A = this chain, B = another copy of it.
Amino acid sequence: MGKIADPARKSIGARRNPDSADAILEAAEAVLIEAGYAGFSIEAVARRARAGKPTIYRWWPSKAALLLEVYQRQKRVDIPDTASLEEDLVGFLINLFTHWRETSSGSIFKSLIAEAQSDETAAAALAGYAGGRRTHTGQIVERAKARGEIAGDIDPAVVADLVASYAWRHLLINRLDEPEATIRKMVRYLLQGIEAPGGQR
């Protein structure tokens, strides 16, 4: 250890960091995509990145921390904005399922859930991510409420919670290939009877 630590990282000065750090993150992502959580070991990442294990541990305190950064690095899913809550939600879920399937970032998210069972850091990150008001579904529903599309006595958080729960469960049981009709049926059911009296629909 050095004399003064970077609050975010843990080492002293950063001379050749960025190259190594990027190579390691990219290797970690590649390993997760190709071998899944079962094959995600620090040694595999080091081999792939042509880096030494100590280099990885210099920058990330644990396997969970590396996984977390790989996850956060994934680019976000487009949030549709069609001025209709039903279309927004259906579009978002289809985008999300496709993104999870095609970029394998679903694997990464599932890995995070798995890691959270044995690592406190990952558990806190997962709970924080799910509990925050910044979730995608939360934004979509809040926007619809601001638009006056939802009755006043409906709590947007409940709708957002249910939509997110649906997505998580379908990810966990490997059912990301639901046809649009199935998703729309669920969303339609979910939105049944929540229109505000003067809502524009």
Residues of A within 8 A of B (CB): 36-38, 110-111, 113-119, 123, 126-127, 130-131, 154-155, 158-159, 161-162, 164-166, 168-170, 172-175, 185-186, 189-190, 192-194
Contact = CB atoms under 8 A, between A and B. Distances in A.
Given A164-B169, A165-B170, 6 more contacts: A113-B113, A113-B114, A113-B117, A116-B172, A168-B169, A189-B194
Main SS at interface, chain A:
helix
* Most chain B CB within a 10 A radius of its CB, from A117, A170, A185, A190: A117
A186 B173 contact: no
Q: Can you tell how many copies of this chain the complex includes?
A: 2
Contacts of A175: 127, 131
Contacts of A36: 117-118
Nearest to A127: B173
A159 B185 CA distance: 11
A44 to B, nearest CB: 13
A164 B123 CA distance: 21
Nearest to A130: B173
26 contacts: A38-B117, A113-B117, A113-B172, A114-B115, A114-B116, A126-B172, A127-B174, A127-B175, A131-B173, A155-B185, A158-B186, A158-B189, A161-B166, A161-B169, A161-B186, A162-B186, A165-B166, A165-B168, A165-B170, A168-B169, A168-B172, A169-B169, A189-B194, A190-B190, A192-B193, A193-B193
Most buried by B among A113, A126, A159, A172: A172
Nearest to A188: B158
Nearest to A169: B165
Contacts of A185: 155, 158
Contacts of A110: 117
Contacts of A130: 169, 172-173
B118 A38 contact: yes
A118 B114 contact: yes
